[in-house]
Structure 1
Amino acid sequence: MGSETLGSQTLESRDRPEVEDLAGNQGRQEPLGVPESPELDASEPPPPMPEVPHFSSELGQEERVALKRVLMAMLFASTEPLSASRLSEAAGISVAPIKELLQELREDSLKPEAVFELKKHGDGWRLYTKEEFYPYLVRLRSLKKVERLTPAALETLAIIAYRQPVIRAEIEAIRGVKVGPMLRALLDRKLVSIVGRAPVPGAPFQYGTTKTFLERFGLQSLEELPSLAEFQQGRI
């Protein structure tokens, strides 16, 4: 089970409910609407390194402040600990003042008004959100952005909403295609859930909509779903 780091705490990723062979190894499958990343042309030369302001070997007060801001920006943007030598190379200045300023930043990060704490791990330095903010980060993480569903996923969701509890084979019979990827997408978004097993050979999973489905579509109950007659009459 994977994990994500928030500050000095670790959040375990939520377990995904058991799903019946949603990979759909046979038959036609439909994409989830996520484009593949374009491949990079290895023959193309890498882009040139951008020019950076030059820091003198003897740092004045203004340069010290400016360099500390540069270090904070690099530490904030990095997803891994950064060594003093790597920071030195990126900033274009010798290692000695970098090490000195890292210690100053460490002391600054311990002040009550600081949001991040700078910690050293081996040869590297990394910023961490202070523990006092951990509950807010947990809440923020739970408020996931609702991703737009593809037409295929919406069609699958509509079948489940109107025919629930329904098994995968029934959905595929109506749509005429494999719906494993669509079911997984809907399960991941908590719009549908496994509500039981059908009393037929193999006892396949039955799917139904969730409270999240009602909330996302502004419904108090399933009784508020538009009738099929309203669709046929073009009133929806």
Structure 2
Amino acid sequence: MSESDQTVSDAVVSDAVTPDAAAAAPDAAAQDARPLSARLEAVLLAADRPVDTRSLAAAVAEPEPWVARALAGLQAEYDGPPERGFELRRVAGGWQLYVRAGYEDAVRRLVDERIPPRLSQAALETLAVIAYRQPISRGQISAIRAVNVDGVVRTLVARGLVEPAGVDEATQATLFRTTDLLLAELGVDSLDELPPISNLLPEDPEETDGERD
């Protein structure tokens, strides 16, 4: 074999795919071949809370604009026709799959025993006051509802629907606000989407005497 032939032979050997590389190549090709929408569906199904577009893009290793277009496509696909039993919503600054309205009964029959206890009427009323008047103190909530709300507020905090939001400079009372979990539970992207009932609440509720936290 001539020197030139040996050089060509060495080049061919050096360019050849090793057994390990050959085994890995199909996996890489399969990953690239998977539809973006299918990969997004897998991530969304695994998520237990809203996931923002940037995090989704990182999870599927694709540019954000591509992911945004794919999400819009999934929304349209799920909305039909034909209509699916679930929908993709933008909530709390992220994306999450929800059971579509009208199909909850079938799900409830399956998982009813796993659903956390429903909030009491008192808790719902207190939560509404906080949502429309936040940040707000316990004394201000009590002034609006005309009842003591200490226990109810503790329940809402324990459920992750409400959280402390600093203190009132004048009274040093703890202020409370709603959380992103509440937005996710309500299926809305922001509090601006709530019904306009805040005009039914007092504009400037008075603090209860001597309130301190």
TM-score by length of 1: 0.35
Structure with greater proportional helix content: 2
Higher RCO (CA < 8 A, seq sep 6+)? 1
* Normalised TM-score (structure 2): 0.39
